[in-house]
A = this chain, B = another copy of it.
Amino acid sequence: MTDTDTATVIRELSARLAVLEDRQAIVDLMTSYGPAVDSGSEEAVARVWTEDGVYDVDTGIMRGHAEITAMVRGENHQGFITNGCAHVLEPGNVIVDGDTAVATCKSLLILARPDKSAFTVLRATANRWELIKTADGEWKCTRRTSRVLDGRSEAPRVLAEGVPGPDGTLKHGAGAGTIGRA
């Protein structure tokens, strides 16, 4: 190979690696939510999002780190932890488009029953994570949209917006879910 050939091949290898590294970073980000939320580690929960990131749940919308940490410290969430709870996340279906990405998956909120004999699945929820690669190369969530799958039509629509067409791309792009936006 000439030097030019070698440089080109190395650049191509590095680009292929970068694709996988982005995917790994997104998995790391998403899986960091669970241990943080179920242990009440409020700052680590907030770090999943950008400073002004939005967590839009059917039960309420949180904008920015302060509102997200307030939710973790709140009576409702602290009651879940004291009672015994598990926020379980299945692997996301991730579609990356440059420095943005969408991950679509379901989550379960599972609570210990009062008599501790077993657990109840309180919520099964459709999730859309809109993600960006920040200036310093970290992936963060800009908006997570969560709708409980209790028959309301917008919950399956959250999932449908994460389903790519035959060409592998999303109809609404990586950054623009329509559910829950004004």
Contact = CB atoms under 8 A, between A and B. Distances in A.
Contacts of A24: 20, 23
Interface in A2-32: 3, 6-7, 9-10, 13-14, 16-17, 20-21, 23-24, 27-28, 30-32
Which of A20, A38, A81, A87 counts the most chain B CB atoms within 10 A?
Answer: A38
Interface residues of A, number: 73
Nearest to A18: B16
29 contacts: A1-B6, A1-B7, A6-B10, A20-B21, A30-B91, A32-B93, A34-B90, A34-B104, A35-B93, A35-B163, A38-B106, A38-B156, A38-B159, A39-B163, A40-B160, A41-B160, A41-B163, A44-B164, A81-B156, A84-B124, A84-B155, A86-B106, A90-B91, A108-B110, A112-B150, A112-B151, A116-B151, A119-B121, A119-B122
Given A38-B156, A112-B124, 7 more contacts: A31-B90, A31-B91, A44-B163, A88-B108, A112-B149, A112-B150, A121-B121
